[in-house]
Amino acid sequence: MPADGFGGGSARAMVAHLTAPLAAGAEQRVLPIPANGQLAINFPTRRPLLMLQLRAPLDARVLRVTASGAATAMLTFDAWTDAGTALPLHRPAAENAAPFTITLAATLDGTALPTAQLATWLEALLCQGELGRLVALLGAEKARIRRESRRLLAMRRLGVAADDALDRLGADLGVPRLHSTPAWDAARREIISINGTEGDAAYRRRLGIYRPFIAPTRAATTALLRQGIADAALSESRDALALAVKFIAIGPAAARNDMLARLRADWLVHPLADATANATHAARYLPAPRRVASDAMRGRLRAAFAFSAGAALAPGLAAAMDRAARILVAIGHATPISITRTQDNAGGSRFESALGLAMQPLAVADADTLRGKLLAARTPGPDREAEALIASARATPPPTGDVTLDWLWQAAGLRTRHRLSTGALYLSDMPVRGLVVDAPDTLAGGASIECRAVFEAAGDPTMNAALGDALARAAANRVAAGAPAFTVLDAATATARRAAAVDVPRAGGVANTLAAAGITAPEVAAPAITATAALPAELHRTLALDAALSAQIRAAAPGAIAPLSALVGLLRASGVTSVLPMVTPAEVLLVTGVTPLPVVGVNLGERRATGIRWAVIPLGGTAVINGLGARVTLAGRTPGLVALVALGHMRGDAPDPYEIRCELPAGRVLDLAQYEWLMNALERCFPMGIEVNTWRLRQQHVDLDGNGAADPLPPRLARHYRRFRMPRLRGFEEPDQ
């Protein structure tokens, strides 16, 4: 038997160690509790003492037993009572007691325990003899000592600690008990404090943020959040940053020309088999297997694609196009696809580094024929990689009329498939998307020039891609959203119409109508007209509203609020980040942007829709970037060559790279206490170098006034919450709100 086999059964342990003569005076018998709860002693007994014995430890629960029949009693097994602990239930007065029956009932933490489960928790211990009674009396205090020892040990565990034990744990962690709760004062529109000491359960939940130590991994962070908010989730982006590279010579152009010539000679893949391309590849020092593999890839590329003279591809791009070529061979396509442009020294950031190429879209009939070959039943060929890529393309059948063959390039691993203004399709294995760096090929030492990075919209280099996508989505979803019609004006027309804008007094009916729809017009029009004209043209477009709606707004008619609100909501949902209304004597214009606009800044989204980060890589020369954003100034320093690199991100519904977002289901609201718990939990465990975006949480999921509906936090309170963790000083008082 284990050393502590009897647990809290001190009387049983003492009897087990009695010698033979004494043991005869202390007989003990364990009796099970019947399923009906009626404990019957139907045999003669000698000086009996009937006790109830606990079969399992209680931990933080309380078990109360009520007896009726031969004995009337109420026994309480308090929290943390150990298994084996026995309490006296009945001692007959007669020395030789007649048979008797006792009916038992019990509650566990105040909830009635079914009689069939009594045997799970309890059993009877019948002690007989004078010594047996004495031993039970002598051992009673030991059970209480064991119970209190278990209680003290448990108080070191956060899950069950209470009262001052929790305060001591909080002092160790630097998290004191709160003596107030946050509440929303609607009249003052601010968060106030209401006095009241925090209960153990709420305090324990806050301490759980800081104990035990956690590593800020996705799994650990999610598990922590769901301790307090069961349906909280983390989302992160899988989109890579877009890349654009422009080579700039500081001083003479020779450094740039030499580098591009060396690039073609040493690194690029020349698919054609003319004398120049063959000589270039023959001059490279390559192991024989590499040379054979390179020549085989060049042959496959020539067979599948029609290249122009002097064509050259970056190795990664060539490998992706080779996968596409093998797919075409496997499905039985034999007509070469025209590739119109590859590496070009004068091709700007898209083509000079050979990271991308342009292809001519197919005729509709040819594209549908190729689609039919993809989807037709066929016997798999020997190229296993090509067959796997074909299976992935067949999993989601491409639409008819796909003249750009997007399914082919996606399966081959080409991450950029962007339509140019010429109608050609730009392909790259790098995440270029529509990003272009507009900068000169050369820059005099000591001189400066403006450089800009532009996310060009598909087919329209004059519009930012994020704005183009947003307006396209708005036009496609307008009818379903119940929004009024609008017209996108060209740049020249928009500038002329905005010039007629008039002042909109802040207290006037027009201003109130616009404010009811969630937008604000400039009180003084002239500065807004000038500032809007100075913005980069690709980052904003002007919408002309329907004539009838414009007339209602200018008349401050209440009926204008609902359709205008629907349109503003549609633009917000589509990805427009800012809207500036401008009122003219004849119409109402909405300047839409994906960047902060004059007067209103970013008023629909959480931030601008695109972001650019710059870097200058010295390749023999040096230069310095001044400024931030899409337009910067490049200043040449020492002669040579530099690579101007733009890393861009176009925001959508997913979080940015290096960002995580805490999200809740639609319609889920948090009270102020839950909100500040969640914010402290996020503050506790976010990884280094990662931004935690809580904009949607603060705008769509916090219930300030307790009416069950979300209330966007005012800007001045957007990051207002109490920090739970304080300096580790015993007795440190919590700060005021």
Do 415 and 564 sit in the same domain of this protein?
Answer: no
Secondary-structure percent of the chain, ordered helix, strand, coil, rounded to 5: 35, 25, 40
Separation of alpha carbons 473 and 574, rounded Å: 6
Residue 639 lies in a domain: no
Identify the pLDDT of residue 384: 93
Does one domain contain both 316 and 388?
A: yes
DSSP three-state, residue 422: coil
Whether 110 and 103 have beta carbons less than 8 Å apart is answered as no
Q: Does residue 727 lie within any of the structural domains?
A: no
Same domain, 437 and 543: no
How many separate domains does the chain show?
A: 4
Please give the Cα distance from 476 to 496 (Å, whole number): 27
Q: Which residue, 103, 130, 154, sits at the end of a domain?
A: 154
Identify whether residues 362 and 281 lie together within a single domain.
yes
Instruction: State the Cα–Cα distance between residues 469 and 463, nearest whole angstrom.
Output: 10
Amino acid at 334: A
Note the pLDDT of residue 11. Answer: 80
Q: What is the model's pLDDT at position 1?
A: 41
User: Where are the alpha helices (H) located in 186-338, listed in sequence order?
Assistant: 200-207, 218-228, 254-266, 275-282, 288-304, 315-330
Distance CA 88, CA 78 (A): 15
> DSSP secondary structure string, 486-519?
EEEPPHHHHHHHHTT-----TTSHHHHHHHHTT-
The C-alpha angle with vertex 644 and arms to 641 and 650, in degrees rounded to 5, equals 165
**Domain for residue 634, yes or no?**
no
**Are 506 and 561 contained in the same domain?**
yes
Residue in this structure with the two tokens 């904009």, named with its chain if needed: 695
In this structure, is residue 220 part of a structural domain? Answer: yes
Of 705, 707, 701, 735, residue with least CA distance to 721: 735
Location of structure tokens 């070009």: 344
Instruction: Based on the fold, state whether residues 254 and 360 are members of the same structural domain.
Output: yes
SS3 readout for 67-100: EEECCCEEEEECCCCCCCCEEEEECCCCCCCCCE
Beta bridge partners of 448: 635
Q: Do 277 and 354 sit in the same domain of this protein?
A: yes
User: Domain boundary at 548, 577, 608, which?
Assistant: 608
Give the pLDDT score at 108. 93
Mention every residue, 6+ apart, whose C-beta is less than 8 A from residue 502: 525, 583, 584, 585
Query: What does the pLDDT read at residue 737?
Result: 41
Distance CA 648, CA 28 (A): 82
What is the Cα–Cα distance from 514 to 601, expressed in whole angstroms? Answer: 16
Q: What pLDDT is recorded for position 653?
A: 67
Cis check for the bond before 212: say yes or no (omega within 30 of 0): yes
DSSP H/E element including 22: helix 20-23
Q: Could you tell me if residue 189 is inside a domain?
A: yes
How far is Cα 382 from Cα 588, in angstroms, rounded to an integer? Answer: 64
pLDDT at 736: 46
Let me know: does 109 contact 62? Beta carbons within 8 Å. Answer: yes
Whether residue 191 is found in the same domain as residue 258? no
- 175 plus 148 within the same structural domain: no
Domain assignment present for residue 4? The answer is no
In a domain, 448, yes or no: no
The distance from CA 415 to its chain's CA centroid, rounded to whole angstroms, is: 23
Task: Concatenate the DSSP letters of all residues of 178-217 into one string.
Answer: PSEEEEEETTTTEEEEEE-PPPHHHHHHHHTTTSS-----
How many residues would you count in the chain?
737
Q: 545, 574, 608: which is the final residue of a domain?
A: 608
Q: Domain limits at 252? A: 248-442
pLDDT, mean of each 10-residue run, the chain (737 residues): 68 82 82 90 86 89 91 90 90 83 92 92 89 85 88 85 87 87 82 87 88 82 87 81 93 94 95 94 93 95 94 96 95 93 94 94 93 92 93 92 94 94 93 92 91 88 87 91 91 92 88 89 92 88 92 91 92 89 93 88 73 91 89 92 91 75 88 89 83 84 86 73 71 47
Whether residue 519 sits in one domain with residue 430 = no
Q: What is the pLDDT of residue 2?
A: 47
Name residue 581's beta-bridge partners: 590
CA dihedral 379, 384, 389, 391 (to 10 degrees): 40
> Are 75 and 211 in the same domain?
no
Output Rg (C-alpha) for the chain, integer angstroms: 39
Domain assignment of residue 602, yes or no: yes
| Same-domain pairing of 228 and 313 | no
